[in-house]
Structure 1
Amino acid sequence: MSESVQAIRLATFKDSRASFLSALADAGIDTGEVKLFSERPQAAGFVDMIYAVSEALPWNALSRVIVAWLEARKSREIIITQGTNTVVHARGYSVEDLRKILGSARNITAIDTEKPDTDV
């Protein structure tokens, strides 16, 4: 049986980056920063990757992180783009529903429209 590497692109912006990456790290989910080079202007933000070998990506842990991160502040939004280009706004989904959605995710965008108060 051969193993495959699965990756999900994670886009964060200034006010969401630290809190979302911290929540992922607390759940034991590793990320790696991607450096982008372009001659054209790009949207302000950061790109990381969440990697897993075969089916080892912790869908349950990632689903729990997303639900908890969204519930902590009303100014937060998670947008998941699936391989079929279907876009899902994660607010209101259960951990179980998100686990299923994440199985075909290729991109996650974490947005917080308010500056962090403290360590939230």
Structure 2
Amino acid sequence: MSTQEYASVRLTLFKHSAESFLAALDEAAISHGPVHTYSIAPQGSGLVEAITALSDAMPWNAIARVIVAWIEARKSREIIIYSEEGKAFHAKGYSASEVKKLLQVSTNVAVIDTKPVDER
């Protein structure tokens, strides 16, 4: 039995972000999977994915590089990282090393692209 802890990054993908962001994760060979939630109360829209690994195996650097590159590719993109303390950080303008530190204490990451992939 392993005594290692798991680390997880929870991604909520809004608007037109799902296809392009998940493709970017796939291209970087970062394994991810859907999170299915069930509730009797209304829920916010958005596709929820998670990246989970043993703490030592979590690809923090790779995820941070994907986030920075994905944001920089289009002006319509934004990623908001929510910390355990309830603070929100807009990742636009942060370096990959700064994003990595924020991800390690995140509770959720909102991924947003306000325009479809085929629209500039």
TM-score by length of 1: 0.91
Q: Does 2:100 align with 1:104?
A: no
- For 2:69, give the aligned amino acid: A
Question: What secondary structure, in the 3-state scheme, does the structure 2 residue paired with 1:81 have?
Answer: strand
Counterparts of 1:1-120 in structure 2, within 5 Å, are: 2-117=3-118
Query: How big is the alpha-carbon RMSD for the aligned residues of Structure 1 and Structure 2?
Result: 1.7
Measure how far apart 1:78 and its partner are.
0.1
Kept after mapping to 1: 8 A contact 2:61/2:96: yes
> CA–CA distance in 1 between the matches of 2:57 and 2:90?
24
Structure 1 runs not aligned, ≥5 long: none
> CA–CA distance in 2 between the matches of 1:35 and 1:116?
25
- For 1:97, give the aligned amino acid: E
> CA–CA distance in 2 between the matches of 1:103 and 1:34?
19
**Runs (4+) off by over 6 Å:** none
- For 1:51, give the aligned amino acid: T
Structure 2 runs not aligned, ≥5 long: none
Q: What percentage of aligned pairs have identical amino acids?
A: 46
TM-score by length of 2: 0.91
- For 1:107, give the aligned amino acid: N
Measure how far apart 1:14 and its partner are.
3.8
Count matched residues.
119
